[in-house]
Amino acid sequence: MKEEEEKEKKRKIGKYFSSHKLLYAMLIPMLVYFLLFNYYPMLGLQIAFKDWNPWKGIWGSPIATTGGELDAFKHFKYLFFETEEFWEKFGNTLRISVLKMVFGFPMPILIAIFMNEMLALKYKKVVQTISYLPHFISWVIISGILLSMGSADSDFQLFLEKLFGKQIYFFNDDNYFLLLLVISDIWKGCGWGTIIYLAALASVPLEEYEAAVIDGAGRFQKIVYITFPAILPAVSIRLIFELSGLTSAGFDQIFNMYNSTVYGKGDVLETFLYRQGVIGGKYDLSTALGLFNSLIALFLTLVTNKIINKMGGEGIW
């Protein structure tokens, strides 16, 4: 009896697959693509534990050794304990991320709240459209414009001279470079960041504001008791997403803006990794660094998603 049931089951499964052949065939490009471009590089992470040999490749290179003895964690030990560079770049990464978060995070919230107060709807729409624009400009172009604006005696420098009494060379000084990173990051992202908040505000019924007016609420009270609570869920979700990106300070931006005079505070883990790996050819060491970064990012994503779910919000899964 049992055997027959099993046969029947197998027959059914076989029938399912043969009648849905095309559906499975449609998944083949996806499987090939992700295996090659995502999973193969993940296997490539093994060189973090090997001594890279360019003639032997990922699989043929031998496990890392020190003085003839196997030492798979050699590159990690070097990074964490034998060089100060790693911790310096790690500190720079956190400093830049935190600065961007502290000054950049509140901006779209403030802009959205005050945009929401605008009565001239056409004007509001135009301002919105303008504010989204920088989001679509690449960091190559932005950095190129800023380099030109920042060069001696440019129109912009003359303007700064009038304002502060001197020209400011943003690309030659650690602290001004940090200021430049934070300001240009806000400029690029603050308009785009309002979208999620404005969408939340669009769903607040007008009657709520009208009822508040009847109850004698002023503008400030309406903002505190109606507008802000309406965007609060979006704010907490955005905040947690920001936290999960703490170890990436913005590679595209920094890579196109920095130079060796601002390495002191401007060089971060990812730019350091690029120079060690792509330019220096130290594939094993820089892969160890990359693995460290990927694991932290994974950990932060998992933790923050858990927090969102606990709060009753909807995480990403």
Partner 1 sequence: MVKKNAFKRFFDGVFGKTAGDRVFHAINYTLFLLFAIVMLYPFFYVVKESLINIRLVGGVAKEVYNFSAYKFVLSSSKIITAFGITIFVVALHTLLHLFFTFVTAYPLSKTHLKGRKFFLFFIFFTMLFSGGMIPSYILITQVLNWQDNLLVYIVPGILTGFNIIVVKNFLQGIPVSLEESAKLEGANDLIILLKIYIPLSLPIAATIGLWAGVGKWNNWMSGVLYISNPNLYMIQNVLRDMLIAASSTDPSGQNPDKTLMAMADNVKMATVVVGTLPIVLIYPFVQKYFVKGMLVGSVKG
Within 183-212, the residues that bind partner 1 by CB under 8 A are 187, 191-192, 195-196, 199
Counting contacts by CB under 8 A, is residue 175 touching partner 1?
no
Six token digits for residue 100? 């961007």
What's the closest the beta carbon of residue 1 comes to partner 1, in angstroms? 25
Residues in the interface with partner 1 (CB under 8 A) total 99
Counting contacts by CB under 8 A, is residue 270 touching partner 1?
yes
Site for partner 1 in 78-97 (CB under 8 A): none
Q: Which stretch binds partner 1 (CB under 8 A): 1-9, 73-81, 93-101, 252-260?
A: 252-260
What's the closest the beta carbon of residue 212 comes to partner 1, in angstroms? 15
Site for partner 1 in 289-308 (CB under 8 A): 290-291, 293-294, 298, 301-302
CA distances from 236 to 110, 119, 197 (A): 15, 28, 11
Residue 194, CB-side half-sphere exposure with 13 Å CA sphere? 25
- Nearer to partner 1 by Cβ, of 1 and 38: the residue is 38
What's the closest the beta carbon of residue 289 comes to partner 1, in angstroms? 9
Helix, strand, coil % (nearest 5) of the chain?
75, 0, 20
Site for partner 1 (CB under 8 A): which residue of 64, 96, 146, 235?
Answer: 146
Q: Which stretch binds partner 1 (CB under 8 A): 70-78, 207-215, 224-232, 257-265?
A: 257-265
- Residue 25: what residue type? A
* Sign of the alpha-carbon dihedral angle for 188, 286, 53, 281: positive
DSSP labels, 38-102: IIHHHHHGGGGGB---TTTHHHHSPBPEETTEE-TTHHHHIIIII-SHHHHHHHHHHHHHHHHHH
- Nearer to partner 1 by Cβ, of 133 and 311: the residue is 133
Site for partner 1 (CB under 8 A): which residue of 63, 98, 118, 213?
Answer: 118
User: Which of 252, 124, 112 lies closest to 192, judged by CA?
Assistant: 112
Cα–Cα dist 182/163, whole Å: 20
Counting contacts by CB under 8 A, is residue 14 touching partner 1?
no
What's the closest the beta carbon of residue 63 comes to partner 1, in angstroms? 17
Site for partner 1 (CB under 8 A): which residue of 92, 131, 227, 247?
Answer: 131
Site for partner 1 (CB under 8 A): which residue of 156, 169, 176, 225?
Answer: 156
DSSP labels, 237-287: HHHHHHHHTTT---HHHHHHH--GGGHHHH--HHHHHHIIIIIT--HHHHH
Binding string, 206-245, against partner 1, x = CB under 8 A? -------------x--------------x--x--------
DSSP labels, 159-183: HHHHHHSS---TTS-HHHHHHHHHH
Neighbours of 122 (CB within 10 A): 8
Counting contacts by CB under 8 A, is residue 278 touching partner 1?
yes
Counting contacts by CB under 8 A, is residue 152 touching partner 1?
no
